[in-house]
Structure 1
Amino acid sequence: MTIRKKLLLFIPLLVVFANIIAYFVFQSGKVVQQSYDEMLGRILLIEQTSESAESNLKLLYAYLLNPRDDKAVQGPTERQLMQLKGRIQEVSDSAAPSFAEEDYVNLLATFLEQKQSAVLDANAQDPQSAFEHYIEAEKTVSYIHEEGQRLIDAELAYYRPIIENIRNKNERMNGLGVALFGMNALMGVLLAIWVSRSITGPVGRLVALAKQIATGDLNIEPQLRRDDELGVLSDAISQMSADLSILIEKDKQSLEMRRLVKELELLALQNQMNPHFLFNTLNVLSKLAILEGAEKTSDLIVSLSNLLRYSLQKLDKPVTLQEELDHIREYVTIQQARFRDRIRFDLHFDASVLQQQIPALTIQPFIENAFLHGVADMETGAIIALTLSRANEDVQIEISDNGKGMAEETRLSVLRLEGGAESGSSTGLGMQNVFKRLQLFYGKEGMVEISSNTGQGTAITIRIPVKKESERTDVSVVDRG
C-alpha cells in the first residue's frame, strides 16, 4: 500500500470514528434535553393556565363592580385562557399517561361558563345572580389551582425515576464519552506514530544508505521489501549501488588493461632501439645478404623485422587468429633457423576460426615457452604442435610439446598466476601476463588448462568464447587516453 493510500484511508477513518463518538454523545444529550423540555413545558403550561384563570377572575370582579364595558372582561385575557385550554387538550392527546388533565380541562370549561353567566346576569341588571356566579367562579379557580398543583406533583412524581435513570445514564454516558475520547486520542497518537515511523524509518535507512554510498562503500545489505513509494526508492538505490559496483569493476579492469598494455609497451621499448633506425638497418642487411647470395639470411632478417614490427605496432588493439598465426610463423622460422632439424613445428587449424579476435601476443609466449623451457635441451625428436579448432561454442587453442614437462607445484603456481617457468623470453612476455589479459579481455576466468608431467611434455589448452565482429568486449584491450 502506498503512503498516499495509507493517509487517505486511515486519516478519514479516524475522523469518522471521532464524529461517530461526538454524534453518539450529542444524541444522548439531545434525548435528555427533550425529556426535560417536555416535562417543563407541561408544567409551565399548567402554571400559565392557572395564572390566566386568576386574571380572568379579577377582571370579572372589576366588571361586576363597574359594569360599563364588557369588552375588557371578554377580551384578550379570555381568548388567552381558551388558547391555553386548547393546548392542554393537544398535550393530553400526545402526552404520557401521567398527564391526567381531563378534570383540569373540565374545570377550565366550567370557569369559562360561570364567567359568561356572570357577565350575562350583570348585563341583565341582576347583580345578585351575577355575584352568585362570581362566587362559584372563584371556587372553580381555587379548584383549578389545586388541580394544577396536583398535576404538577403527578408529573414530577412520574418523571422523577425517569429523570434519575436518565441522570445515571447521562453520568455513564459522560464516563463513556471520556473513555471514548481518550481511546480516540490514543488511537490518533498511535496512528500518527505508526504513519510517521512508516515514513521516517525507511527515510532514515535510505539516508544511511546514501551516506554509505557517498563514502564509497557499495556493499549494501538487502532492504525489506515494501510496496509503497519508499520501497521503489529503496530498490532504485540498491540497483544504483549494484550498477555502480559493476561500473567500478569495469573501470578497474580497464585500468588494469591499460597498466598491462603500458607495461608491454615499456618492455618493448626497453628491448628496442629507434624503430625507424632498426627497420632501416634490417632492410639494409636483408638487401646486402641477397647481393651476397645469402637468401636464407635475408629471409631470417625479414622474419625478424616482421616479428619486431608486430610486437611494436599491435599492442594497442585486438588481432585476429590469422594475424597471430602469421606472427607465430615468423617466430618459428627464426627459432627453426636456430634449432634446425632438432625441433619440428606442427600446425593444424580450422579455417573457420581464423577471424576470431584475441589480444595481441597471446599464443606466441606459449610457443616461446615451449621452445625455451620444453624442448631446448632435446637433441632429436622434439615436437611442438599448435592446433586451432572449434569446441562446441568455443574456439580451442592447444599448444603442446613432448619436452621435459613441469612439476605439479610449478603447474599449480602457473595456474594461480604466481609466475612459473617464464623467464628468459626474447620479448619479455610471460604466461602470467597472458592469463591476466585474457581474463580482462573476455571477462571470465578459468580459460586456460595446463596438463604436464615431468619428462612427459606439456599441453596448454585455451578456450575462448566465439565473438562476432559486431559484438563489443566489456573491457577494451587498451585505452590510450
Structure 2
Amino acid sequence: MPDKDIISRAYIETVVDKYYTTEQSSWRIIYTVPMKELLSDLNSVLIATIMVVIGCLIVALIFTMFISTYLTSPINRLIDSMERVKKGNFKEKVNFKYNDEIGVLGEQYNDMIDNINNLIDKVYLLQIQEKEAELKALQAQINPHFLYNTLDSIFWKAQKSNNKEISEMIYALSKLFRLTLNRGYEFTYIKNEKDFIENYLLLQKMRYGDKLSYSIRFDEEILSYRIPKLILQPFVENAIAYGTEFSNTESMIIVTGDQHDKGIRFTIKDNGRGMSSELIAKILSDDRSNIANESTGYAMKNIRKRLSLYYDDNFNFNIYSTEMNGTTIEIIIPINSKKIIDGGVRSV
C-alpha cells in the first residue's frame, strides 16, 4: 500500500481520504470517497431549502396582500362614500363591523353627514318660512304709502271732528301696519315688539271695553335687543280669542319681559279657560301634522319652530296651563341675540 505522502495532490483534491493503523502491524489502511458523492446529498438539501424559502416568500406576499386589502377596504369604502357625498348624495353612510380606529372614524363620518343633513333641512325650512313671510309682506304692503296716507287723512278728519276714540284707533292701526312690515326685516327691536303689543291691545280694549284688562311690563335694559318679529303677539291674540270672547267675567292679560340668567325672558299670562295636557303635549312635540285642525296650538307650534330655526336648542319654550285656570307662556332666548342680528336679516 503506498504511503500517504506519495498520493498525488490532484487526487487528494478530488477525494476525501481516511486511514487507520492495524493493531497487528504498522500498516495503514486508507479509504477514499469522491467529493461529488459526498456533496450530492448536501446539494439536494440546498435546493430543497431554496425552494422552501421561495415558497415562504410567495405565501408571505399573498398573505401580506390579503391583509393589506383587508385593512384598506374600509378606508376605500369611506373614500367612495365621500365621492358620492361630493356629488350631492347627502344620505350616504358607511357601516363598519368593528369598533377599531376605522370604525370610530366611520361613526364620526356618519355623525358629520347627519349634522350636514340637519343643517340643510334647517336652512331649507328657514328659506321656505322666509319666502312665506316675504309673500305675506308683499300682500300686506300692496301700497304701504297709500295705506299710511289714507289712515293719516282719516286720523286728521277724526281729530277735526273731536272724535278722540276714533283718532286713537286709527293711530294705533297705522302703527301696527308699520311695525308689522318692519321695512322687510325679519328681526325687530324688543321696543318695537312691545309697541306692537300695546297698540294691538289698545284696539282690542276699544272693542271689548271692560271685559278686557291688560298690563305690559318690559325692563328698560332689554329694549335695545333684537328678536324675531311677531313671536309674542300670537299668544296675546290666543289669550283674547280663547279667553276674553268666551268669558263673561273680566279677562286679564299680563305681558312681561326681563333678563333671566344669561337670557331674555318673556311671559304672556291670562286667566282664560286654559289648555288640556294633551294639547300642550302636541304643541311641544316635533310632529307638525298632529295639530293641524287646532288653530291655537298650530300658531304656537309655528312660533316654537321659528325659534328653533333661529336659536337651535339655545332657547326655552314652556307652557303652564290647566283647563279653566288660565295659561302662562314662557319664552327664554339667548341674550347675545343682539350681537348675532346686528347686521340685520331682510326677508324682502
TM-score normalised by the shorter chain: which range applies? Answer: 0.7 to 0.9
Query: How many angstroms does 1:420 deviate by?
Result: 6.7
Q: Which residue type is aligned with residue 389 of structure 1?
A: D
Residue matched to 2:46: 173
In the alignment, the residues of structure 2 paired with residue 479 and residue 282 of structure 1 have an alpha-carbon distance, to the nearest angstrom, of: 25
Q: Which residue type is aligned with residue 284 of structure 1?
A: S
Q: Residues 379 and 223 from structure 1, CA distance in 2 versus in 1: closer, same or farther, beyond 3 angstroms?
A: same
* Contact in 2 for aligned 1:279/1:305 (Cα 8 Å): yes
Query: How many angstroms does 1:398 deviate by?
Result: 0.9
Q: Deviations over 1:202-261 (max 9, x none)?
A: 45423542354344323333686888xxx7xx95x9877755654443343233223223
Select 2:331's aligned residue among 459, 462, 475: 462
Query: How many angstroms does 1:336 deviate by?
Result: 1.2
Select 2:224's aligned residue among 355, 368, 385: 355
| 1:218 equivalent in alignment to 2:92 | yes
TM-score with structure 2 setting the length: 0.77
Residue matched to 1:184: 57
Residue matched to 1:114: none
In the alignment, the residues of structure 1 paired with residue 8 and residue 36 of structure 2 have an alpha-carbon distance, to the nearest angstrom, of: 12
In the alignment, the residues of structure 2 paired with residue 290 and residue 444 of structure 1 have an alpha-carbon distance, to the nearest angstrom, of: 49
Query: How many angstroms does 1:468 deviate by?
Result: 5.0
Q: Which residue type is aligned with residue 301 of structure 2?
A: Q
Residue matched to 1:5: none
Question: In terms of Rg, which structure is larger?
Answer: 1
| 1:259 equivalent in alignment to 2:131 | no
Map 1:297-336 to 2 at 5 A: 297-313=166-182, 316-336=185-205
* Contact in 1 for aligned 2:226/2:341 (Cα 8 Å): no
TM-score with structure 1 setting the length: 0.58
Query: How many angstroms does 1:434 deviate by?
Result: 1.5
Residue matched to 1:437: 306
Map 1:36-435 to 2 at 5 A: 41-43=9-11, 154=30, 157-159=31-33, 166-195=39-68, 197-199=70-72, 201-202=73-74, 204-210=76-82, 212-213=84-85, 214=87, 215-221=89-95, 245-270=114-139, 274-313=143-182, 316-416=185-285, 417=288, 418-419=291-292, 422=295, 430-435=299-304
Residue matched to 1:64: none
SS at match of 2:339: coil
Query: How many angstroms does 1:456 deviate by?
Result: 0.9
Query: How many angstroms does 1:378 deviate by?
Result: 2.9
Q: Which residue type is aligned with residue 192 of structure 2?
A: E
Residue matched to 2:24: none
Identity level (%): 24
In the alignment, the residues of structure 2 paired with residue 240 and residue 395 of structure 1 have an alpha-carbon distance, to the nearest angstrom, of: 36
Q: Residues 285 and 477 from structure 1, CA distance in 2 versus in 1: closer, same or farther, beyond 3 angstroms?
A: same
Structure 1 residues not aligned, in runs of 5+: 1-38, 46-94, 101-149, 424-428
Structure (1/2) with the larger strand percentage: 2
Structure (1/2) with the larger helix percentage: 1
SS at match of 2:229: coil
* Contact in 2 for aligned 1:448/1:460 (Cα 8 Å): yes
Query: How many angstroms does 1:303 deviate by?
Result: 0.8
Q: Residues 187 and 445 from structure 1, CA distance in 2 versus in 1: closer, same or farther, beyond 3 angstroms?
A: same
* Contact in 1 for aligned 2:276/2:322 (Cα 8 Å): yes
Q: Which residue type is aligned with residue 46 of structure 2?
A: M
SS at match of 2:267: strand
Q: Deviations over 1:16-35 (max 9, x none)?
A: xxxxxxxxxxxxxxxxxxxx
In the alignment, the residues of structure 2 paired with residue 371 and residue 292 of structure 1 have an alpha-carbon distance, to the nearest angstrom, of: 31
Q: Which residue type is aligned with residue 448 of structure 1?
A: F
Query: How many angstroms does 1:465 deviate by?
Result: 2.0
